């Protein structure tokens, strides 16, 4: 197998859950048989359109059809006139940080990562004896209860941690210091399992 064909497999590894099984089998067969023309055809006609469509959904500043918000946190500034400066959201498709237009931020921005291609890792975990919730579960997804919470709550002991989203070992997005990071991570892993083709 040539170096170029090994690179194809390595480059497509994060997208393995997006590529239909029959196409993946066909691609592996073409790589094994060293059929460069067939590999090129599969990439151009079957795999690239899937990846392009997925990328467009991940970058869409609005919710996609069928997309549901499952977890949310808003970062606000101000005491009397609160202003949202960041909105962190996890849906059944992606994790997002939305930066709306503010006095300091003249243009809106969206940073997002697809759940199917990332690995959520908890870092800097700590327990705090008295803390305020950072992030709220929002309800039910595909028949399983992911929890619900409104506003903020005080508890006697809360776990906090940074939820970092990696793709191929590179950090793509981070929700710093969220409460119940393990619960959020479990929710993401369940979504990933249910969305596999």
Per-residue pLDDT for 13 more than 50?
A: yes
Residues shown for the chain: 197
If you average pLDDT over residues 146-173, what whole number do you get? Answer: 75
Question: What does pTM read for this prediction?
Answer: 0.80
Three-class secondary structure of residue 125 per DSSP? strand
CA-CA distance, 69 to 170, in Å (whole number)?
25
Residue 128 has which token pair?
């705090």
**pLDDT value of residue 162:** 95
Tell me the C-alpha distance between 54 and 156, whole Å.
42
Question: 99: helix, coil or strand?
Answer: strand
Tokens 């196409």: give the residue. Answer: 23
User: What per-residue confidence (pLDDT) applies to 4?
Assistant: 59
What stretches of 60-196 show up as alpha helix (H) in DSSP? 181-195
Name the residue with higher pLDDT: 136 or 14: 14
Give the C-alpha distances (Å, rounded to integers) separating 165 from 38, 92, 94, 117, 196: 34, 15, 10, 10, 18
Q: Do 146 and 137 touch, CB atoms closer than 8 A? A: yes
> What digits encode the pLDDT tens for the residues 56-105?
999 999 999 999 999 999 998 888 888 889 999 999 999 999 999 988 88
């Amino acid at each position: 197998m040539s170096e170029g064909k090994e690179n194809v497999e390595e480059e497509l590894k994060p997208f393995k859950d997006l590529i239909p099984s029959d196409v993946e089998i066909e691609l592996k067969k073409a790589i094994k048989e060293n059929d460069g023309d067939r590999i090129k055809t599969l990439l151009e006609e079957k795999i690239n359109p899937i990846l392009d469509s997925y990328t467009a959904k991940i970058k869409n500043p609005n919710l996609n059809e069928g997309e549901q918000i499952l977890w949310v946190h808003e970062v606000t500034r101000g005491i009397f006139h609160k202003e949202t400066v960041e909105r962190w959201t996890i849906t059944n498709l992606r994790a997002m940080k939305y930066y709306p237009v503010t006095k300091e931020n003249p243009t809106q921005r969206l940073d997002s990562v697809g759940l199917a291609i990332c690995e959520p890792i908890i870092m800097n975990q700590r327990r705090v004896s008295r803390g305020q919730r950072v992030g709220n579960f929002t309800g039910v997804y595909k028949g399983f209860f992911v929890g619900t919470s409104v506003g903020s709550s005080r508890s006697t002991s809360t776990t906090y941690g940074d939820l970092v989203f990696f793709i191929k070992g590179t950090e793509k997005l981070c929700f710093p210091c969220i409460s119940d990071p393990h619960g959020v991570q479990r929710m993401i892993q369940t979504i990933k399992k249910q969305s596999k083709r």
